[in-house]
Structure 1
Amino acid sequence: MSTVDIVPLVDEGLGNSAYLLDLGDGRAMVVDVSLDLRESSRLARRRGLTVAFAADTHLHADFLSGARQLSATEGTQVLASAAGHREFTHSGLRDSDEVDLGGLRLRALGTPGHTHEHLSFLLLDGDKPVGVFTGGSLLVGSAARTDLVSPEQTEALARAQYASLRRLAELPDDVAVWPTHGAGSFCSAPPGSERTSTIGREKTTNPLLRAADEDAFVTALLGSLGSFPPYFHRLGEINRRGPAVLDQPPALAPLSVAEVRALLAQGAVAVDVRPVADFAAAHIPGAVSIPLRPVFASWLGWLAPHDQPLIIVRRSDQDPAEIAWQATKIGYGNLAGELTGGLDAWTAAEHPTTSTRLVRPDQVDTSVLDIRQTPEFAAGHLPGAQHVELGELADRAQDVPGEPLVVMCGHGERAMGAASLLERAGHRDLAVLTGGPDDWATATGHRLETGT
């Protein structure tokens, strides 16, 4: 089998992989890179490569594409589906079109399903297929969701996805499969550590490729769909028009205590990115807790508004550039800045704070609200626990039972976010469980309930 020099660039937070392909002549191609180009640029510089091509398999809903940025700043040629009708300079490809990469060739394969205009890109060395960039079509052990366009088109796209996977399955068994969406992606990839595969392995192990017929495939795929962040509804169109080109890296502007107070009075929202224990001890009343970690971007896009100014409250040892980039790659350009001096400056100015109790698994003695995803809740939860997914909580805060109330998730980060939303809605006497259902079962010796 021919070998190629390809490096996956994994975004653990979004559950995605971009790819950098060294073309062997001082040039490179990147596939499905986000607007956060730090890692791909660092890798290209280290190898002395110029990024000559940027291929996008589809109009991404979960991040802003970096292809237009590369085109504007480095003269990179953008390769994308002609059916996507992008409004910026690109080479529009249709099914079976090929691009000469200089020794290697890239063939476009129409694989609609995840989106209408979805392309997979087959990499050929001579006439031999080496691997296929499957984007949101064939995934490791699954296929990407088909409900991001509209509810009315979900089933039709699922049937298109069936045909697309069957087409890909006709490739030779030794062809590598390089998907964009992987474990942790809200675009529907099952848990697991494998992010690449082969056609042969997927034919053997992927349950969707082993479905008895098209109807069975559609039933299985649609039955696996969970919720997704609301910003998914916006980014596809932004990517079609072309994300704004950045003239400098995003950064957090400094804001004084007085400026923060004025902004909050005008409707801005404080987003506190400190760890759970810090937020629990003291925070600005009404602040939303979204701890800075790899999945920060997804939960920012789920819990914080995109059309109101956001004020970041961080700890001094947390990287402001990381916060700014995570917000930027999901289209959150509404960061007003950060509170200079953090919460210490706020308290030094003698402005009020509030706190949220933390309880251990053996201290749960009141009503419980479990805010995990539905499949997590169904797999095992505390007996009698009420369930509202975190992503729905802001709209359903009035449905939550009265206090006292213990809020829980799997570890505590999401639960603290939920508690902060409930506090903003007027709930009091809340506590957050430091741990998850398994910790409670171990601490108490009681069994978990299953099902919904």
Structure 2
Amino acid sequence: MTDLQLVPLVDEGLGNSAYLLDLGDGRALLVDVSLDLRAAWAAARRRGLRPAFAADTHLHADFLSGARQLAATEGTRILASAAGHREFAHTGLRDGDEVDLGGLRLRALATPGHTEEHLCFLLLDGDTPAGVFTGGSLLVGSAARTDLVAPGRTEALARQQYAALRRLATLPDEVAVWPTHGAGSFCSAPPGAERTSTIGREKATNPLLRVADEDAFVTALTGSLGSHPPYFRWLAEVNRRGPEVLDTPPDLPPLDVPAVRSLLADGALLIDVRPVPEFAAAHVPGAVSIPLRPAFAPWLGWLVEPERPLVVVRGAGQDPAEIAWQAAKIGFSGLTGELAGGLAAWVAEGGETTGTRLVRPGPLGRERVLDVRQAAEFAAGHVPGAAHVELGALAAGAGALSREPTVVMCGHGERAMSAASLLERAGHRDVAVLTGGPGDWAAATGREPERGS
């Protein structure tokens, strides 16, 4: 068997893995790459490879595909499901179709479930299966969610997902499993460090491959579905029509203070991407805190309307290209620019600032504790008596909460500061942020977190 040169390209913020496969002749296959192709380009350049093929396992709901960008700029051949009815040039594949990669072959396996048109791609070395790109079908320890197509299709797709996983389980045990969704993905991957596996390991350890029957599978899968960012509802359709090809990389044009004031007066929103302590010390009133980190993109997409003009405030050491690319890969093209000179320029021209109190883990007194983590995180352990509202629900619901002194918390502080900024924007006062999570609180107080919802 050929010694495969496969490079996982992990996007920690999305919880996803794309893959670059060296085909051994100066060409490469890319699987499930996003519009942010920087990591793919870097990996290809290091190996002197040209991206000859770009395969998409499904119509992605959590990022814009980079396949069309590659086709337009490099002549890359796009491989995707014929059942996806994409409205741009591609090679439409059906169950059992094969593509000669030049020594290796790629066989399409129809595996609907996560989406209607989902394909897995079985990589063949001669007649020997070497690995399978499973996209949103078989994941490490799980399978991807089935509720993104339409609410009325969730159970039917879960039953198709059951069949898809059973089909994959018939592959030889030694076949590698290369999923797209992994830990941190809102497409329902469980926590854990492992992002690849084998068929044999999944048969032995994946709970969804060990359930008694199809009904038990449906109950287990649909019972674990958490919330997801609202852009999941429309991004797959953008990918079906074809993401816009970028002529130039996305950027953040500098805007002076008068220009920013004018934009804010016309309804633009200020997004402050600085770290939590800097935002806490001083920020423009009404700014929404979304700290720049790997998970910046999904939280931007969760908390902000995609059509709203956005102005960014960043710290001196933060990369504007990173901000622009993270927004672009989820289809957010509303970044009007950034405040030139940052907060210092705003203050120098007489701009008002405010701050948010930070609270160290410890006894929390009589203040309301508001935990804004996901439901599963909250159920796993929280401060006794804490109220729970997921951060994603606060964008629209902050104004409905009663006004009272509140300490907001999450796991580390970033989501809590986002929540605090939304509360302050909605008119709440006396809002503080806990600089830690339930574990830090427990260590400081000697008390055990409460479990359950």
Query: TM-score band, normalised by the shorter chain?
Result: over 0.9
Residue identity opposite 1:383 in structure 2: P
- Give 1:446 deviation, angstroms: 2.0
Which residue does the alignment assign to 1:280? 280
Q: In the alignment, what sits opposite 1:60?
A: 60
The match for 1:79 is: 79
One-letter code aligned to 2:208:
L
Counterparts of 1:361 and 1:399 in 2: how far apart (Å)?
Answer: 27
What corresponds to 2:440 in structure 1?
Answer: 439
Q: Secondary structure at the match of 2:171?
A: coil
Displacement of 1:399: 3.7
TM-score (norm 2): 0.99
Aligned to 1:131: 131
The answer to whether residue 303 in structure 2 is matched with residue 303 in structure 1 is yes
2:294 match: secondary structure: coil
Aligned equivalents of 1:165 and 1:245: distance in 2?
35
Determine the structure 2 residue equivalent to 1:249: 249
Kindly provide the CA deviation profile for residues 91-144 of structure 1, in whole angstroms up to 9, marking residues without a partner as x: 000000000000010000000000000000000011111000000000000000
Question: Cα deviation per residue 1:227-280 (whole Å; 9 max; x = unaligned)?
Answer: 011111111000001000001111101101000000000010000000001001
Do 2:139 and 2:182's aligned partners in 1 also have CA atoms closer than 8 Å?
A: yes
**What is the CA distance between 1:344 and its match in structure 2?**
0.2
Contact 1:158 1:221 in 2 (8 A): yes
Unaligned segments of structure 2, at least 5 residues: none
Q: Is the 8 A contact 1:2 1:130 kept in 2?
A: no
Q: CA deviation at 1:180?
A: 0.2
- CA distance in 2 between counterparts of 1:354 and 1:129 reads 60
Q: For residue 451 of structure 2, what is the aligned residue in structure 1?
A: 450
Contact kept, 8 Å, 1:3 with 1:130, in 2: the verdict is no
Match for residue 186 of structure 1?
186
Matches of 1:345 and 1:414 in 2, distance apart?
26
User: 1:289 maps to which residue?
Assistant: 289
Shift of 1:390: 0.3
The answer to whether the 8 A contact 1:80-1:90 is kept is yes
CA distance, structure 1, for counterparts of residue 38 and residue 2 of structure 2: 30
Q: Secondary structure at the match of 2:362?
A: helix
Helix, strand or coil for the counterpart of 2:397? helix
Partner in structure 1 of residue 420 of structure 2: 419
1:10 pairs with 2:3: no
Matches within 5 A, 1:318-337: 318-337=318-337
Partners of 1:73 and 1:167 lie apart in 2 by 37
1:181 is aligned with what amino acid?
A: H
Which aligned pairs between 1:161-310 and structure 2 lie closer than 5 A? 161-310=161-310
Per the alignment, in what secondary structure is the counterpart of residue 133 of structure 2?
A: strand
Amino acid at match of 2:171: L
Cα distance between partner residues in 1 of 2:140 and 2:170: 16
> What residue is the counterpart of 1:46 in the other structure?
46
Report % sequence identity: 76
Q: Distance in 2 between matches of 1:224 and 1:399?
A: 28
Matches within 5 A, 1:10-159: 10-159=10-159
Q: Which moved more, 1:394-403 or 1:122-131?
A: 394-403
Question: What secondary structure, in the 3-state scheme, does the structure 1 residue paired with 2:230 have?
Answer: coil
Shift of 1:401: 3.1
Q: Deviations over 1:333-353 (max 9, x none)?
A: 110000000000000001111
Residue-pair matches, total: 452
Query: Which residue pairs with 2:377 in the alignment?
Result: 376
**Aligned-pair Cα RMSD in Å:** 0.8
Tell me by how many angstroms 1:361 deviates.
1.4
CA shift at 1:396, angstroms? 1.9
Query: Aligned partner of 1:444: which letter?
Result: T
Shift of 1:362: 2.1
Deviation beyond 3 Å, 4+ runs, structure 1: none
Q: Distance in 2 between matches of 1:302 and 1:118?
A: 25
**Distance (whole Å) between structure 2 residues aligned to residue 439 and residue 25 of structure 1:** 52
Distance in 1 between residues matched to 2:313 and 2:363, nearest whole Å: 30
The CA distance in 2 between the partners of 1:5 and 1:14, in whole Å, is 24
Q: CA deviation at 1:3?
A: 3.0
Q: Which moved more, 1:389-398 or 1:295-304?
A: 389-398
Equivalents in 1 of 2:273, 2:398: separation in Å?
22
Contact 1:229 1:298 in 2 (8 A): yes
When normalised by structure 1's length, the TM-score is: 0.99
Q: What is the one-letter code of the residue matched to 1:164?
A: A
Deviations 1:393-414 (A, max 9, x none): 1222234232211111111100
CA distance in 2, matches of 1:398, 1:351: 25
SS class of match (1:416) = helix
CA deviation map 1:50-86 (0-9, x unaligned): 1100000000000000000000000000000000000
Distance in 2 of aligned mates of 1:194 and 1:404: 41
